[in-house]
Structure 1
Amino acid sequence: MGSKSMEEHKNQSPLKIKVGIITLSDSKSDQRRFEDSKIKNVPPNDDLSGKIIMESLEDKHEIVSYNIIPDDAELLLKNLDKMRDNGAEIIISTGGTGIGKRDITIETITPLFKKELNGFGEIFRYESYKELGTGAMLSRATAGVWKETLLVALPGSPNAVQLGMKIIKPELGHLVKHMKN
């Protein structure tokens, strides 16, 4: 589907990426209190979205940190810093992207972006529209570069996470290569 030069360019990209995963959920974080960014081999059964992210990446990439936190901007910023300090080149979050009062992910991370990857959100909403119709406009999925780290914010639903990973996973190495140039 892509051009020959694009494929050659991708082939020069890093093969193994260090990834951090954050699930934002008041209810799930109440069940599991994480005070620091410890690596967890298996997300809890009730964190299907975190599990989808981890399982889609762990065969090819290194998961350096996984955390479940409440919908709290200060805690999100603290976790982003810790994950970046732990070497995460890409941090993928799930949850907190809606338009409810407790949804703080987008408002917290977009001011951090040096560069926003508008195309990710556009493709995500287009693909969602094909499945859901006009309700796709509620999605605020986004991605951007912060301190040579890619932040990807996905909605909390497992179907949305599967779609987001389908879009972003093939480009992870390519994105990291460009961020570091």
Structure 2
Amino acid sequence: MSRACILTVSDTRDLNTDKSGKLIAERLQHHGVTVMARHVVIDDIVDIQQQFLTFEQLGPDLIITNGGTGIAQRDVTITALTPLLPTMIPGFGEAFRELSFAEIGTRALASKAEAGFNNRNQLCYCLPGSTNACQTALDRLILPEFEHLLFERHK
């Protein structure tokens, strides 16, 4: 059974108001994934990196972040996590933006969503904070494919 940690990046949410983090946890659990931890941090590079590295040490198979993946000046999740993801999976971001374009049109171009493996070979997804975007990513990309990606990485 796979295990996951969920990190929400937001200046306005906490664990009680974090709809996207709750959705991610529920969808993962529905598919047999154990959610080990869920945390909310503000849009701050050091806070994001610190919590991400704390999650790494818990030993999950997956780390999923949501929030902070847009182009606003406060959106620093990708800036924070790119140095911690040495092996990127470019097809994830490309496919996500294509699916999003079909749903929301050209606004999808502002998304910097991405996926990759960290130094511990844990599969990491960086999703937008939108609940709809998280559901699209989970249902159309993550849940159908994460086990295969983990299998390939650990060959």
Q: For residues 46 and 154 of structure 2, what CA distance do their matches in structure 1 show? A: 27
Pair 1:163-2:128 in alignment: no
Q: For residues 82 and 154 of structure 1, what CA distance do their matches in structure 2 show? A: 19
| Secondary structure of the corresponding residue to residue 82 of structure 1 | helix
Q: Return the match for 2:118 from 146, 161, 168.
A: 146
What is the TM-score when the length of structure 1 is the normalising length?
0.80
1:57 counterpart residue number: 28
How much does 1:53 deviate? 0.2
Structure 2 unaligned blocks of 5 or more: none
Pair 1:23-2:11 in alignment: no
* Residue type of the alignment partner of 2:29: E
Superposed CA RMSD: 1.2
Pair 1:179-2:153 in alignment: yes
What is the TM-score when the length of structure 2 is the normalising length?
0.93
Does the aligned pair in 2 maintain the 1:64–1:87 contact within 8 Å?
no
How much does 1:135 deviate? 1.6
1:90 counterpart residue number: 62
Q: For residues 138 and 130 of structure 2, what CA distance do their matches in structure 1 show? A: 12
> 1:2-41 maps to which residues of 2 (within 5 A)?
16-29=1-14
1:11 counterpart residue number: none
Structure 1 unaligned blocks of 5 or more: 1-15, 30-42
Does the aligned pair in 2 maintain the 1:96–1:105 contact within 8 Å?
yes
| Deviation by residue 1:105-130 (Cα, 9 ceiling, x = unmatched) | 01111122221111111110101111
How much does 1:172 deviate? 1.7
Q: For residues 35 and 103 of structure 2, what CA distance do their matches in structure 1 show? A: 30
Q: For residues 112 and 78 of structure 1, what CA distance do their matches in structure 2 show? A: 11
Larger Rg: 1
Q: For residues 101 and 156 of structure 1, what CA distance do their matches in structure 2 show? A: 15
Pair 1:122-2:98 in alignment: no
